[in-house]
Amino acid sequence: MKTKSIGIIDSGLGGYSFYHTLTREFPEVSFVLIADQANAPFGDKSKEELSEIANKLIDRFHKMGISLILIACNTLSASILKEMRDEFPEVELISIIDLTISQIKDSAKRILVIATTATINQKAYSKALSKSHKNAWINEVATPKLVDLIEGLANDSDIDEVLEEYLSDKSKVDTIVLGCTHYPLIKKNIEKITNANQVDALEGSIEYFNKISELPLGTSKVFTTLDAKRFAHQIKTLFNDDVAVEEIVL
């Protein structure tokens, strides 16, 4: 498949965590992130709203000559992946959920999935895990307050307080699935509450692209649909990256 770059879609900083990881792992490859912060968070939106958002994002990438896109958003992957693939059959859309599940150990017996309300409502993880980990205890918990805290650069004490609320009775789990791409940014906060193995899709994404023989080379770019200066500040604060951010209107 010929593509000018590899696209990355998310509502904000979760997508940048993939951009940050992948551009360091594949420095000569061209990645383009569109962070749709104007519509963040995605987790509280209806399927109709999500479809409208996704169609605009994928259409913009398609017009840029990008036909390989990482859906770095569990909400979109859980809610409307089939609809997106039907709408854009000429574009390869990579599901973040598949990449995450690929990282769960076979020995996992008590698995907790934390994600946005929309992702949990679709039961995408429990359905997939019931096949890959048939004998495991699986629980899914909606954690709707976390994305806004992360995007707002909340201090650790505020994040810790909310995590205590969500995880207070989950001490016996051996695996926590970070079912939102924002959540790897608070791994250290989660470690204060539980020593369970934390699983996300970052390593899975590296493995996925390592299997592709011919990746598109060139410059990587970051776009936001909201405020370029604000996004650049968020990136600098959380990743210590000085990155040029451009505003884009979908």
Nearest to 4 by CA among 36, 25, 31: 31
Sign of CA dihedral 219, 224, 227, 229: negative
| Cβ pair 10, 72 in contact under 8 A | yes
Longest dimension (CA), the chain: 49
Q: Please indicate whether residue 73 is annotated as part of the active site.
A: yes
Catalytic option among 180, 196, 202, 245: 180
Tell me which residue has tokens 């776009």.
223
Q: What is the CA radius of gyration of the chain?
A: 17
Annotated catalytic residue: which of 35, 73, 93, 142?
73
Q: How far is CA 123 from the centre of its chain?
A: 16
Which of 243, 204, 227 is CA-nearest to residue 151? 227
CA distance 243 to 231: 10
Cβ partners under 8 Å of residue 54, min gap 6: 9, 76, 80, 83, 84
Q: How many Cβ atoms are within 10 Å of 175's Cβ, its own excluded?
A: 22
Q: Is 60 a catalytic residue?
A: no
Catalytically active residues are 73, 180
